[in-house]
Structure 1
């Protein structure tokens, strides 16, 4: 049976048969890293509002409700179910192929899986929309479209904590069909907060700082469910008896639907999700109804609580018949209002969406009601945003698929988006580096991964860079052990957390005070890094130039920090040749890879940053004529640049490509050796290397790191010898394929006229991710052994950099 009359699903979705597993999914490289397995689907929920995830087997299993924290667990009571009957038979299924493994809900029937040749339907995803198309089980044609109101340039609805489930039911037969669709949901108010208010930070076996997270899972005392309705809508609010002061985790959830003349709504406001589930399933499986049971009493200690609503998808009575050829569309909405994000104990922020409702925590019904009124408009806005890209015939479908689906990280990357303030009129924003390295907006990583935010939500992008500008003058003398040295079994130096003038690596972690306490990571001493200062200057100028080149106030806000960080970085030019040297420790984004002397990577970024600083000073001087300090600063950068440019060529060019560095003697071809040249061209600055040399280096990278490494099937390794062999077979970073670095390299290939090569490289990486169970948790790195490292990684959104340069 086909679903010809179901809603039109774009042809470029990521698609997977419902319930079909993976024979050999990628597995985690290091045991200390998170590996939830491949059952990940597109997340639902607004930026910074918390999100949930539903996999291609139909279970709700991802709970990023507490900002920056990760919980992966199927909650079987949170589920859609469908009842169907005709004149001769009836059937009912909960729409997950994954039955509970803890013995609960034994009364329920779970959605079957059939041989792959037949199948029971397909899951499709094109962020922020996804679809379940059910086939070969029901006589009716059923599709459920899921989405949240996220589209480019929208700074209001994109923050809402809401998910819409739009059901389309069609009767293709010549006989009547009765249908009922049920959404059940467990009351989880109070669960999503750390029971450990000041957890101890320790150094993990991979050298990263980590702390324990203990959600208050299952603590439901005082929770209650209450039926709510108005003339057009019907819902159930899941709340908790109020305490004196609202805390993180407090608030309300709501499930809701619309009233329809053909549809009768049934409800059951209190049943036990830890039991057999019979109190809802008995009546639902019999005739698609629920007993309309109401009990709004709060839960006693030790009890659990679920709520359910059943909506016949068509009908005028309980067993209404959907006539042959008839179609009906029914929206369900899930909303939550948990307004507070707590970092360290007592450090509370309100979420962005509270600017549009209020801060009471009682707005889940109001949010759901708004969604039921607006969902059609929201969906149209999403379609209008995506259409110009989806209609492009010069872009392959796999690229369009990955372009949108990689945006999942803006929802589920532990995202923070605070309420507006006078200083930050659209709030402050942040995304984690990844789930394993749980700190925000790592600057070296976002040099690549922030293209998506820049192109789609430029004001949020600028808010992040303003946070870095504010942090650069700050200092923090807290002493710390550097974790890297533990991993190589060497004595660790003690380093202070943050030196004034140094650009911080990150904007902090969810257990401290994000935006205020920066440089959370202690894997390396980031005060010694040679790329961060350049990364900051490049991103500031990029964000100005690519958002209309008219926000001079943004440049002015960042200028003092630019001066401080470039002055600081220049102190590492120990031989006075104009270019800061790498120290022989891993002191840049490839933080397991030792570079010595002038390096192609950091040196090139330095040159491009100087060009950017000169361009910024030119702009500011047109508004601040006669500013002698500014003019002097520009002159200094011109002097440094003039001195540095020939040194870079003399020390690194070997006639075919740029050497890794000037002192190690390595002949490794580094994939990302000319990131600085890519940025210079992107920003319409003068080339930092001659274009013929850039092209020669790029072709060498393509041959050695991609084609000669695993026959071009995996992507480009970070660094191999010219024949594709490893310099050190035991090395970590050089032999990994970094997804975001590959997308950045592909953008450089496009920029240099090698578009076919760029697409071959990009396609290899995309296929590894989306064919092998890494979808919606794209890692930093994959290896030839089928392992990955650091899932849900920020850098992979660099695929938007490819789209930028194609335009």
Structure 2
């Protein structure tokens, strides 16, 4: 994009869309019970674990992940920026900067931003894209550029202070909006920028303190979330000034006990111009009480009314900054939105304070202090973000679309129901967790984060280690409650009950927001996760990965995880029923592809097991060296590595030969040893990827690896997409869009066709698995093929309305499943293999 020299530069790598431009044929949800909010999603704003808000490319604030782990998608029209403009004595104009007017009579007196601007634009016989400006996003920054409506050039940059290895400001509950205005003409222009907001104090908490858990039609456990949105009795607004900062605090009447959702919100600005305010107005009326003054001359009546809201009443606040630009003059005006809601509550009475309270206190009365900090520091924050991003953006060997997706897929660290607790003696930077997704609402699913946690590891390694420490603490624990297994419900069979968490079984997840995250694990009940054959290996590999890829120096981390590693492997080995060195899959879906039956030794789980044994041996040897070199000063690991390593080496030797003999078919590795399937599985050699990543011995001959990857590329990508195109061409009903590849299917026959056209997981394209496959291909010198697959998936996400809600799966019928999915951050594994991990290995 071309930019005027007086406005901030927007990277050409940013995702962009015309303001107010809709989607002709966006992806729709595969299962009606899953969440589908539609395509109007923009980049989220807010700190990690502090809650976040989202603003779409039509200008509305519509995503409210303010209560930890819970999802609200709803437009509150009063939360809005508006602009007044007058050029000398010409008639003024004023618009609220959203292209979608509210339904019914809410704010009926307001004027809403026109989609087409002042000119009708047509290309041939069809209407062209709207010409009112563009929205750009490159997480954690996004921009609105307004054109053809106002005489002034206007641009608004939005961001929160998130950058790599920043364990303080990245937790702040703040959104910064820096406005840049320029007068390109030869007459003075008077502008006024207004930020209006509703008092939302107390809204975001679940009023169902013990919600009933039920099984949804897809077999997943769900519970109702019922926030108290709109209940504002006793809320009040207060106008404050301090130095050159001014704004409104939106609070509640006195609370004897602070609860979840309680606290304060603030809107504020830092000014060297006229500032106006209205501390109390009706945000659900026709809006005339605010708009009439603003639309007339850009002012507000300066009402400082602190009277609390009556029963059934809602109240809003607004602040406006008015200034005049001489010809050629440029001015920048910052605004901030802040929320200080210190408490996250899981089950009733299970309370955690958020990480940012380590820096601003726990009273819930610190929104003004946070706002002042933001207005003082936002320029430094901008620079820190740029310094972090720029080396990647400057790389000429990476295509722009890849750099765009690399940063924008980090959105889930903010909006993935993210938790980040306050520090304790045991957890000095707190505990952290991101949901598997909004539909499967439990935290840090271990099989999913095997791929999706690369972003967290590379950017916030201490947080990633904190999650693995939580798993290490959970492995030896037992939870003897019984629950129904949902998978059998979906296939019409009687649903058995299973133990919630077996002792020494590696848990699938760290729990859900309605119980006690980090303590009550294994929330999912779709399958009996005590029987899964990948979780123990996943844990061992991630522990060793975090050790190796952060410099191989964090011995306390290895020590803390050691006993759990031993327990996880020994538990998993109990499923080696024929004593051939490899645990067998049971014929039920018992791994991350939990709709896909594997029988006997499987390529996926067996390869992870071999790599995990290699990693465990390396960990044991490292701990043994540490003990020896310290002269016995350090406490010896129990059980001692030297008592286990010979046994593990014996298992490993058995497993290698069995794996190769039972699964290699001359071109690729069979799905498993028991089904007789000829499916080419995309992720058949994930264990090999991890082994090579961590400088461990290859689990299979390298020529077999190359052959298998070529088979995957040919069958699951090239042939599968050709099969889709053939199906479309043979369809009697024409499809609305030209075909473009959608990515690699999880598993198809060599010719790209399905074993069963009604299959679920095998025929889906999983975004994170595709990115993981691409990282593996890059590792093996197949960079062109890797980027073909990656680009196909990225284009599906960002061209068809899936941006900032990336799903687990997309299908050939233009449907998706499981939005806001953790695994998609595996795109960072591609960058890691290309750049960062190479550099780390060369340093070693």
Query: Is TM-score (shorter-chain normalized) higher than 0.5?
Result: yes
Tell me the alpha carbon deviations over residues 124-165 of structure 1, each in whole angstroms, 9 at most, x when there is no partner: 000000000001000000000000000000000000000000
Q: CA RMSD in A?
A: 1.0
The equivalent residue for 1:201 is 213
Contact 1:3 1:142 in 2 (8 A): no
Counterpart of 2:477 (choices 470, 474, 477) is 474
The equivalent residue for 2:176 is 164
Counterpart of 1:689 (choices 700, 705, 713) is 700
The equivalent residue for 2:97 is 95
Give 1:548 shift. 1.1
Taking the aligned partners of 1:720 and 1:3, their CA distance within structure 2 comes to 47
Give 1:243 shift. 1.4
Contact 1:3 1:133 in 2 (8 A): no
Give 1:102 shift. 3.2
Contact 1:705 1:718 in 2 (8 A): yes
3-state SS, counterpart of residue 375 of structure 1: helix
State how 1:287-366 maps to structure 2 within 5 Å: 287-312=297-322, 314=323, 321-366=324-369
The equivalent residue for 1:750 is 778
Counterpart of 2:617 (choices 614, 619, 631) is 614
The equivalent residue for 1:725 is 753
Taking the aligned partners of 2:76 and 2:40, their CA distance within structure 1 comes to 14
Asked if 1:128 is matched to 2:140, the reply is yes
Contact 1:2 1:135 in 2 (8 A): no
Taking the aligned partners of 1:231 and 1:620, their CA distance within structure 2 comes to 57
State how 1:53-72 maps to structure 2 within 5 Å: 53-72=54-73
Give 1:442 shift. 0.1
Counterpart of 1:795 (choices 823, 828, 835) is 823
State how 1:511-590 maps to structure 2 within 5 Å: 511-590=514-593
Give 1:62 shift. 0.2
Give 1:624 shift. 2.0
Taking the aligned partners of 1:603 and 1:322, their CA distance within structure 2 comes to 68
Tell me the alpha carbon deviations over residues 104-137 of structure 1, each in whole angstroms, 9 at most, x when there is no partner: 0000000001153551000000000000000100
The equivalent residue for 1:252 is 264
Give 1:713 shift. 0.4
Counterpart of 2:666 (choices 651, 655, 660) is 655
Counterpart of 2:744 (choices 699, 706, 716) is 716
3-state SS, counterpart of residue 270 of structure 1: strand
Taking the aligned partners of 2:129 and 2:98, their CA distance within structure 1 comes to 20
Give 1:242 shift. 1.5
Taking the aligned partners of 1:565 and 1:714, their CA distance within structure 2 comes to 37
Give 1:629 shift. 3.0
Taking the aligned partners of 1:143 and 1:118, their CA distance within structure 2 comes to 17
3-state SS, counterpart of residue 709 of structure 1: helix
Give 1:103 shift. 1.8
The equivalent residue for 1:317 is none
Asked if 1:397 is matched to 2:400, the reply is yes
The equivalent residue for 2:382 is 379
Taking the aligned partners of 2:551 and 2:233, their CA distance within structure 1 comes to 53
Contact 1:3 1:141 in 2 (8 A): no
Counterpart of 2:423 (choices 420, 423, 429) is 420
Taking the aligned partners of 1:624 and 1:478, their CA distance within structure 2 comes to 40
Tell me the alpha carbon deviations over residues 685-734 of structure 1, each in whole angstroms, 9 at most, x when there is no partner: 00000000000000000000001112370100000000000011111000
3-state SS, counterpart of residue 310 of structure 1: strand
Asked if 1:48 is matched to 2:60, the reply is no
Tell me the alpha carbon deviations over residues 359-409 of structure 1, each in whole angstroms, 9 at most, x when there is no partner: 000010000000000000000000000010000000000000000000000
Contact 2:21 2:130 in 1 (8 A): no
Which stretches of structure 1, 4 residues or longer, exceed 6 Å deviation after superposition? Answer: none
Contact 2:271 2:333 in 1 (8 A): no
Taking the aligned partners of 1:454 and 1:745, their CA distance within structure 2 comes to 18
Taking the aligned partners of 2:7 and 2:754, their CA distance within structure 1 comes to 51
The equivalent residue for 2:160 is 148
3-state SS, counterpart of residue 274 of structure 2: coil
Tell me the alpha carbon deviations over residues 741-798 of structure 1, each in whole angstroms, 9 at most, x when there is no partner: 0000000000000001100100000000000000000000000000000000000000
Taking the aligned partners of 2:685 and 2:548, their CA distance within structure 1 comes to 21
Tell me the alpha carbon deviations over residues 410-443 of structure 1, each in whole angstroms, 9 at most, x when there is no partner: 0000000000000000000000000000000000
Counterpart of 2:597 (choices 574, 583, 594) is 594
3-state SS, counterpart of residue 203 of structure 2: coil
Contact 1:670 1:718 in 2 (8 A): yes
Taking the aligned partners of 1:746 and 1:117, their CA distance within structure 2 comes to 34
The alignment covers a number of residue pairs equal to 798
- Normalising by structure 2, what TM-score? 0.94
Give 1:612 shift. 0.1
Asked if 1:34 is matched to 2:35, the reply is yes
Give 1:3 shift. 5.3
3-state SS, counterpart of residue 406 of structure 1: helix
Give 1:99 shift. 0.7
- Normalising by structure 1, what TM-score? 0.98
Asked if 1:265 is matched to 2:286, the reply is no
Taking the aligned partners of 2:556 and 2:582, their CA distance within structure 1 comes to 30
- Change in CA separation of 1:725 and 1:2 when aligned onto 2, cut-off 3 Å: closer
The equivalent residue for 2:199 is 187
Taking the aligned partners of 2:797 and 2:253, their CA distance within structure 1 comes to 45
- Change in CA separation of 1:118 and 1:419 when aligned onto 2, cut-off 3 Å: closer
Tell me the alpha carbon deviations over residues 303-336 of structure 1, each in whole angstroms, 9 at most, x when there is no partner: 0000001111x3xxxxxx3100000000001111
The equivalent residue for 2:791 is 763
